[in-house]
Chains A and B, each alone.
Chain A
Amino acid sequence: MTGDDLQALAATALEEIAGAADPDQLEEVRRRYLARHGGSIAAAADRLAEVRGEERAALGRAFNAAKRAVTEALEQREAELQASLWDRELAEERMDLSHPLHPLQRGHQHPVARTVREIEDIFTGLGYTAVAGPEIEDDLHNFQLLNMPEEHPARDGHDTFYLGGSAQGWLYRTHTSPMQIRTMLAGKPPFRIIVPGKVARRDNPDPTHNPVFHQVEGLCVDEGVTVADLKGTLEYVLGQLFGQDRRVRLRASFFPYTEPSLEADVACGICAGEGCRSCLNKGWIEILGSGMVHPSVLAAVGVDPARYSGFAFGMGPDRITALRYGIRDVRELYENDLRLLEGF
């Protein structure tokens, strides 16, 4: 066998390797050319032992070249065949990714809870702490200490549920403001709290009323707290809730426990203040009541009104939720219809 023979043999082998259609055929080719026993290129190794000198060196080089060429071709072809095997196998694993999905079984947050959480987070960022208080209150904390003595006309807006069977006169709090009182009685200024929670008023259910609903009360008392601080706080908070570009308007109002008293409106989301059917032509939507804590309220809970001042506010997350998410009937908020809740 000469070097030329080996070269020809290698060329044939390369052709056969290229023509091998699967790993078995490839193995067959490998065996025929490279098997230690019977491989036709391997047989050249036996010839090497028989020649000497220059001839041996030339034959050795030819042998190595042929073996290397065939080995490399085998490896390359094997890799190719492996890859196409994977291609074929994977091709059979095709999925229809457009197939409608069975939704992940995740729970949904109640929209009112979501609003309350957002309000909490906004105020937490301003250094407020959320506190909780009893939902069953007495007249003293719900009314009297808030400057609403018996028969005060301002109680007209607070139609109250009273508990039966007790001379104590327990009532379901009509607002979260009693927690202002409890907080101030229990501590020393400065105070900076919000009070999210349930309240109840004796209103027949209708699209804008539920007898039980939520309120978030806020209180900030310190030296030198001003109406301008109240304004800045409300503008920031309402901007966070309704979008920074929504205009906020403060207007004078009356609450027995604040003086001055102010209500905050945001511009109607539909007409931006011009007046439309959605806002009953007012252009503005009432969002919350607020004011500077009345000096008599401060004095009654042992906070010196000559040294301290502060503001308080109360907002209705139910109403805010209805406005933000276009829910027309607040009664739906407590039905827990999954079709509504799954939107959150």
Chain B
Amino acid sequence: MRVSHEWLGSMVDLEGVSPKEVERLLTISGTEVERVTRFAAGLEPLVLGEVVEFKRLDGSDHLFLAQVRGSEPEPVEVVCGAPNLFVGALVPWARPGTRLPSGLEIGRRRIRGVQSEGMLCAPDELGLGADHDGVFTLRPGEGEPGQPLRELFPEDTVYELEILSNRGDCLSHLGVATELAAMLDRPVHPGDMTPVDATGEPIAQSVEVRIAVRELCPIYTACAFTAIPQLPAPLEVRRRLMAVGQRSLGVVVDLANYVMLDVGQPLHTFDLDRIQGEDGRVVIEVRPGRQRETMLGLDQQERSLAPSDLVIAANGKAAAIAGLLGSWDSSVTPKTTQLLLESANFQWTSIRGTSRRLGLRTEASARFERFLSPHLVPMGTRRFARLLHDHLGVSPRPGLLTAGELPPPAEPIRISASRISALLGMEVTAGESRSALERLGFTVALEGEDLVASPPTVRTDLSQPVDLVEEVGRIIGYDRLPATLPALRRPPAGPSANATQRLAGEILMGAGYTEAITLSLFDPGRPRPVSGLGDGVEAQRIANPLSGALEGLRVSLLPGLLGSCQLNQARGAERTRLFEQGRVFWTSGKDGRPQEPELLAAVDQGVDFQASDSAAALRHLLRVCQALGDRLSADSTKFMAAVRPGFHPVRCAEVVSRGEVRGVVGELDPRSCAALGLRGRVVACELRVDGWLLPGGRPGSGRELAQTPPLIMDLAVSVPEEAPLGEAVAAVGGIGLAELEAVRVLDEYRGAQLANGLKGWTFRLVFRDPNRTLTSQQGVDLRDRVARVLADVSGARVR
């Protein structure tokens, strides 16, 4: 919402308070200033000109030739295209040589043979808004010919505010001024709302108001005015409306808008002549919309109404959708002379629902949606009547029609001064608290230690003692609070939930993989040749997606990582190594709540990889998986050859520990990569972390360090080509040789020295006995035992 510094200044003394300070005070007290702009800057060179007479310019269908008089008695000729000139009008005049606020310099120009002495200006040309429908006109008496425009348009500052969603009362200058006054500790002076003496025929004789649904409309009031003059709204009203970005739309609408922006009560106006029946009577009823009921709105759009809508019906016919829109044929026009003014309160959920249903939002609906207080209703009527009377001499007809009633003022809230201090963490005396609340318009009584505070009736956000703590806190200022830390009375609750993730991430980063984060949503319509552990899982759909591209909840981390490979490839990367840790979403049986397994996935793409490069990359990735298991799980990790969709037919393994499959690792099938537009080869793994890796990792273990020297023996064997090395090594480890400290594979050899169908393995065996130094003969015996086991398990022969 926009508010004008000048307008605020009419309600609270801003003497000596700079716009910067206003901005600061509002922002820290909760009314955030989003932007500050200047209004009516650069008007100095402009003056008012009086239109003495005007006529169509010869040969033009839209230009006029006006005789315009400034401070000199003789008028001069100015060509003007505005359709709203009238004799006697005072208009902003840019004489030749004037520089407009936009920087444009106005010269003396010949138009259709006439020398035009400058130009008459529309509001937009003066930087006073977007209005370009005609020149800005003043009535005679509102200014003097030749008077500097600046005298009528003092420069102003406009604040664009973000009003908190529970502070509907701040959606007006009065509301904001009240906040500002409290922060400044100065009084607030609302605009004049003293009642106006009524004249004419009592309204109750011809108009009746009813509410059919009290729960949606606690109070509805109407009053009537006759003899509305055909004049624009007063300059001050129009100027302030322009300052906050409102267009001028005629006196009635302008005043209604003005009152809404002034005190916060939305008003609606009907042309009484247009809604009354032939007998001159009208019944206004607040009722739900009916089936198949429609209404042609002021915007000339036909809308269907629903039973959930709140409708203002005049003699049975929808004349307005409450808080949103008047009907085309009930609205005021420039010709309106008899006015019916509605000031009412509508229940916020109803307004909100209809606003959403119709996709329509208005200044009024935006206010009703925020729990506007019904106590604003009479303020709106009185302020409107007072302005209409004081500026245009119009008096209301006797009687204010009221259906429903104002709720009683809220119960006072009781809180002890010590409770306020205890919660704020600073000693605040009862007197200080009381003063802070009174500055905000509370009525406060002190009862012993307790404050008993009645909130201002326009506030709807206050009901609990803790609400008072906030009011006191923000008015005395959070900058006054000390900065303390809460006492730690219980030790922390143990390792953090993501300790495993951290350790796993360190292993992967140490191994050269870079951490990635992808969105958890994906496009289920695109092919997904690789889904890792989520293969075969049907992805859950978002019921209200932003776009098809983000319609599914991911079931695997791999598609996202492969997408990142694609992006990096497109941006010139030759090798992309990434890993991600995060949750995926799998459907589960019972209540439809998805399981959220925690996965870790890694990819390694080389755009120039051949099969041998990817073999090396895969071995590296296997070592990474091995390290994860060794460091972070309680059990040993095995890789069991497997066939998985999307993976290479003979370069894929399941990661197994304690008999359970924990993940999959392998090279991707080059055809899968091609389907994803990935060049070269890609190796990948996806592991399920929860249930496998331990928070904090495998506990360390110490050992006694033998002081005897190791005995190192190498053993070379030949084995059939198909013999798996992992099995052989596991078998050697399984012999249970106490002296065998380590087995290392030095080499796997194929070539000329071996017969076809055979390959060679060279092992380095490290033997050690902690109690004695082993002899070479003992070493040979031990090596022979290993060789026998290899012969049994792998068909090995010593070379």
Interface residues of A (CB under 8 A from B): 105-110, 112-113, 117, 120, 124, 126-132, 134-136, 151, 153-154, 156-157, 161-168, 170, 172, 190, 192-193, 196, 198, 200, 202, 204, 210-212, 220, 222-229, 231-233, 235-236, 249-254, 256, 259-262, 280-282, 292, 294-296, 309, 333-339, 341-342
Contact = CB atoms under 8 A, between A and B. Distances in A.
A129 B496 contact: yes
Interface string B316-345: 000000000000000000000000000000
B469 A211 contact: no
Given A165-B540, A225-B486, A252-B29, A336 B567 contact: yes
Given A132-B498, A202-B546, A260 B515 contact: no
Contacts of A223: 489
B423 A337 contact: no
B28 to A, nearest CB: 4
9 contacts: A129-B492, A172-B520, A198-B582, A212-B519, A226-B424, A252-B30, A260-B466, A334-B519, A338-B568
A235 B483 contact: yes
Contact of B571 (A172, A204, A337): A337
Contacts of A163: 540-543, 553, 592, 594
Contacts of A282: 33
B623 interface: no
Given A107-B579, A132-B498, A168-B593, A190 B510 contact: no
Nearest to B485: A232
B512 A110 contact: no
Nearest to A104: B512
Interface in B474-510: 474, 478-479, 481-498, 502, 505, 508-510
Nearest to B496: A130
B542 A107 contact: no
B464 A259 contact: yes
A109 B495 CA distance: 21
Contact of B546 (A113, A211, A253, A262): A211
A300 to B, nearest CB: 14
B571 A260 contact: no
A151 B546 contact: no
Interface string B19-46: 0000000011110110110000000000
Given A163-B542, A198-B520, A254 B166 contact: yes
Interface of B: 27-30, 32-33, 35-36, 164-167, 348-349, 352-353, 369-370, 422-426, 461, 464, 466-467, 469-470, 473-474, 478-479, 481-498, 502, 505, 508-521, 540-546, 550, 553, 561, 564, 567-568, 571, 573, 576-579, 582-583, 585, 591-594, 596
Contact of A151 (B349, B487, B493): B349
Contacts of A227: 423-425, 469, 473, 478, 481
A179 B521 CA distance: 21
B29 A131 contact: no
A334 B518 contact: yes
Given A163-B541, A163-B553, A294-B466, A131 B520 contact: no
Nearest to A311: B486
Nearest to A265: B27
Q: Max chain A CB contacts within 10 Å: which of B29, B496, B582, B594?
A: B496
A209 to B, nearest CB: 11
B30 A251 contact: yes
Nearest to B594: A136
Contacts of B29: 251-252
- Going nearest first, the 9 A-B pairs with the smallest beta carbon separation are A228-B425, A226-B425, A107-B509, A260-B470, A252-B30, A130-B496, A105-B512, A232-B483, A164-B543
Contacts of A200: 520-521
Given A228-B425, A250-B479, A211 B519 contact: yes
Contact of B483 (A162, A225, A231, A342): A231
Nearest to A199: B520
B505 A192 contact: no
Contacts of B568: 336-338
By secondary structure, the B interface counts as: loop
A226 B369 CA distance: 33
Given A113-B505, A211-B519, A251-B32, A259 B470 contact: yes
Contacts of A134: 593, 596
A232 B482 contact: yes
A252 B32 CA distance: 9
A336 B517 contact: yes
Contacts of A161: 521, 542-545
A225 B484 CA distance: 10
Nearest to B371: A153
A120 B401 CA distance: 62
Contact of A336 (B30, B352, B461, B516): B516
B474 A252 contact: yes
A261 B678 CA distance: 50
Contact of A254 (B30, B514, B578, B596): B30
Given A107-B514, A211-B550, A126 B485 contact: yes
Contacts of B516: 110, 336, 341
Given A117-B502, A222-B486, A338-B576, 14 more contacts: A107-B510, A107-B514, A110-B514, A127-B488, A129-B493, A130-B497, A132-B498, A153-B165, A165-B540, A170-B594, A200-B521, A210-B519, A228-B424, A334-B517
B520 A153 contact: no
A228 B482 contact: yes
Contacts of A204: 546
Contact of A228 (B484, B519, B567): B484
B576 A202 contact: no
B767 to A, nearest CB: 35
B164 A162 contact: no
A296 to B, nearest CB: 8
A112 B497 CA distance: 18
Contacts of A233: 485-486
A228 B485 CA distance: 8
A166 to B, nearest CB: 4
A212 B349 contact: no
Contacts of B514: 107-108, 110, 336, 338, 341-342
Q: Max chain A CB contacts within 10 Å: which of B493, B515, B517, B573?
A: B517
A106 B512 CA distance: 4
Contact of A337 (B348, B567, B593): B567
Nearest to B167: A254
B585 A136 contact: yes
B512 A112 contact: no
B367 to A, nearest CB: 12
Contact of A226 (B422, B543, B576, B579): B422
A296 B464 CA distance: 10
Contacts of A337: 567-568, 571
A296 B465 CA distance: 12
A172 B486 CA distance: 33
B515 A202 contact: no
A261 B489 CA distance: 25
A87 B585 CA distance: 66
A254 B498 contact: no
B517 A333 contact: yes
Contacts of A109: 505, 509, 515
B677 to A, nearest CB: 16
Contacts of B576: 338
Given A249-B28, A337-B568, A236 B519 contact: no
Contact of A130 (B487, B498, B519, B573): B498
Contact of A154 (B33, B165, B542, B593): B165
A222 B520 contact: no
A280 B583 contact: no
A106 B519 contact: no
A222 B517 contact: no
A108 B35 contact: no
B508 A107 contact: yes
Nearest to B163: A254
Given A113-B515, A124-B492, A336-B516, A251 B564 contact: no
